[in-house]
Structure 1
C-alpha cells in the first residue's frame, strides 16, 4: 500500500507514520520544513501544500492508495486538496475533530451519528464546514472521502487546557506547589487517547474500501474525570496538586480561545461509543491507560531541557485569574 501524509510528524500523526513504516506501507510525508526530522523508512517530499504547482510536480507520476491531510482547517484547504488529489488517490482522509459534535449534547453517549454543531468554538465550526465541503464532493463528484475525528489525542503534549499542551508550565507549578486551575468542579467526564492507540485504529482504515464515504471517531474507552486527569499528571511529579476550581464560563471571560476550548469541548462530559471503529478495524483495542501514557509524555519533556517550556505569561495568567476569582 502507498500512502501520502500531508504532515505526519506531529503529536498525533508521528505514531501513525511509525506504525505505517513497521507494517511495510510505502509512506510519503509532505512537509514544509527542510530540516524537519522524518522517520527512517519514510519518503520526504518538501513543499508548502499551498504551493500547488510545486506539489503537483512532486506527486507527478504517483498514485496513492490513500492521501491523509493532518493539517487542513479551512474549507479552502479542502477545495485545494480536491484540485490536487481528485485523480491521484483512491481514498482521501480528512482529520477532523470530535469537538465538532453537538454542544450541549442531547444524548450523553456520542456516536458518529451525533449531530455536528458547536456554537462555542470557531475551530470546531471550521472543521464542520470542511466536513460539509467533503460530503458535497463525495455526493456530487465521487471524491472518495473518509472522515476521522480524534478527541484530545496526546503523546508529545500534556493534554490539559491551561499550562499544558506544548508547555511544561503545569508540571512546574505542581512541583513548586503552586495552585493550578481546574475548570468546573473537576467532576465532568473526559476521554483522552494516546497517539499509539489511535494509530492502530487509524491505519486500519487506510485502503479500507468500506470506509469510503464514512466518518469515525477513534478514542480510548477509558473515561476519567478531570480531577483524575490532573491527579495522574501530578503523580508523575510525586507532589499532590493544589487545585483551584473555577467555572468554565468565568475562565472563558479572560480569553476567547480558552472560552471556545472549554465551553465548546472540554467542559462537556464526553462518552464515546467506539463500536463503529472496532467493527471496521477489529484489531483496534486501546490499551494505554492515561496514568501510564502521561508518565511517558513527561519523561519525553524531561528528556531535553529545551522541551521543558515554562511560560511566564501563562503563570501570570493563571495567577491573575485565581486572584480575581478569590477576591471578596
Structure 2
C-alpha cells in the first residue's frame, strides 16, 4: 500500500467479517475453562466487532500511514487462478459474510468486552512489521 500499488480485495469488499486480538480471545476463553455451565456447550468466542473487507483494508492502510489506498476488487475465482492454495478459503469462507452470536459468551463470561479495537490491532501489526523490516535491513522498500 505504501508505494501506491493496488491492494486486491476479493469480490466487492462488502461481505462482513469479524476479527479478534489474541489477548481478547484469551480474556474470553480462559474463564470458560472449568466453568461447569460451559461444559458440553458450543460458545462463539468472538469480539462482536463486524467489519467489511474494504473497512479492514482501509484501517490497515491508515495504520501504515496510507491516506488513499488503491483497492482493486476481483472475483474469488480470478484470485484463486493466480493463488490456487487460497481457492477454498476465498470461495467457502471469505466470500460469505460471517457474524457470530456472542450471547452465550457474554452470559458465561459476564462483563467480557474486547479491549482492543481493530484499529489498535492494525497499528500494532504494522509497527511490528516495520520493526522487523528495519532489523532485516529492508526498511524503506515497498
Q: Assess same fold via TM > 0.5.
A: yes
Aligned length: 136
Q: Which fold has the larger relative contact order, with Cα–Cα distance below 8 Å and residues 6 or more apart in sequence?
A: 2
- Between structure 1 and structure 2, the one with the greater Rg is 1
Q: 1:57-136 maps to which residues of 2 (within 5 A)?
A: none
Q: Which is strand-richer, 1 or 2?
A: 1
Match of 1:139 in 2: none
Alignment match of 2:87 (pick from 259, 276, 291)? 259
1:226 to 44, 53, 57: 53
| Partner deviation per Cα, 1:213-263 (whole Å, 9 max, x = no partner) | 222221111111111100001001222211111011221233332111111
Q: Contact between 2:32 and 2:38, CA under 8 Å: does it hold in 1?
A: yes
Partner of 1:91: none
1:213 to 1:186, Cα distance in 2 relative to 1, 3 A = same
For the pair 1:283 / 2:111, whether they are aligned, the reply is yes
3-state DSSP of counterpart to 1:209: coil
C-alpha deviation, 1:308, in angstroms: 9.3
Q: Is the 8 A contact 1:200 1:283 kept in 2?
A: no
Inter-partner Cα distance in structure 2 for 1:303 and 1:250: 33
Match of 2:13? 186
Partner residue, 2:121 = 293
Q: Deviations over 1:173-211 (max 9, x none)?
A: x01111111001111111111111111110011111222
Q: Structure 1 unaligned segments of length 5 or more: list them.
A: 1-173, 310-328
**Contact 2:64/2:123, CA 8 A, preserved across alignment:** no
Q: Give the TM-score, by structure 1 length.
A: 0.39
RMSD: 1.9
Structure 2: give runs of 5+ residues left out of the alignment: none
- Match of residue 21 from structure 1: none
